Amino acid sequence: MSDTVTALNIAILTVSDTRTVENDKSGQYLVEALEQAGHQLVDRALVKDDIYKQRAVVSDWIARDDVHAVISTGGTGFTGRDSTPEALSVLFDKTVDGFGELFRQVSYEEIGTSTIQSRAVAGFANKTVIFCLPGSTGACKTGWTKIIQSQLDASYKPCNFVGHLTGANS
């Protein structure tokens, strides 16, 4: 990142039927990573893998003027309870198709064909970018370090999401 960081306000959502804030390693990793990159954690929530609970939390965040980005972890697999893509993609004004494609590409280097079981998605809703990552800490590290961090860095060239989130690209 450059010496002058455009600090964004980021909310973290953990979707899990089993985790608590105390043992949420993936959510905690994301909190530490975004703060280390110079951004601010504005809210954090942990909800059960329930479509309407996820939508309620994220709808509140995207309605706020002080939230630039939401990163969720969990609920992107194929088990019966995994519902994050269904819960959150309906909120998108625009889908960031390349995010899921790129996430699976870079994940392939780490976990091979198991990456096809990831339904990672991203989109924009009310000038807020929403990234939906799998629940493993490894997947969160991959998503953050190989994609999200640079897209939330105003100095990343040739383009990044910062102008879309701060109104500079309106």
CATH of the domain at 38: 3.40.980.10
* pTM of the predicted model as reported, rounded to 2 decimal places: 0.95
d(CA 147, CA 141): 10
In a domain, 90, yes or no: yes
145-167: pLDDT as tens digits: 999 999 999 999 999 999 999 98
In a domain, 3, yes or no: no
d(CA 154, CA 105): 24
Query: What pLDDT is recorded for position 129?
Result: 98
d(CA 148, CA 82): 22
Q: For the chain, what is the domain count?
A: 1
Query: What pLDDT is recorded for position 13?
Result: 98
Domain span at residue 121? 9-155
Q: Answer yes or no: are the C-beta atoms of 93 and 124 closer than 8 Å.
A: yes
Positions in the chain whose pLDDT score sits under 70:
1-4, 170
In a domain, 166, yes or no: no
Enumerate residues 6+ apart whose C-beta is below 8 A from 50: 83, 87
Query: What pLDDT is recorded for position 167?
Result: 82
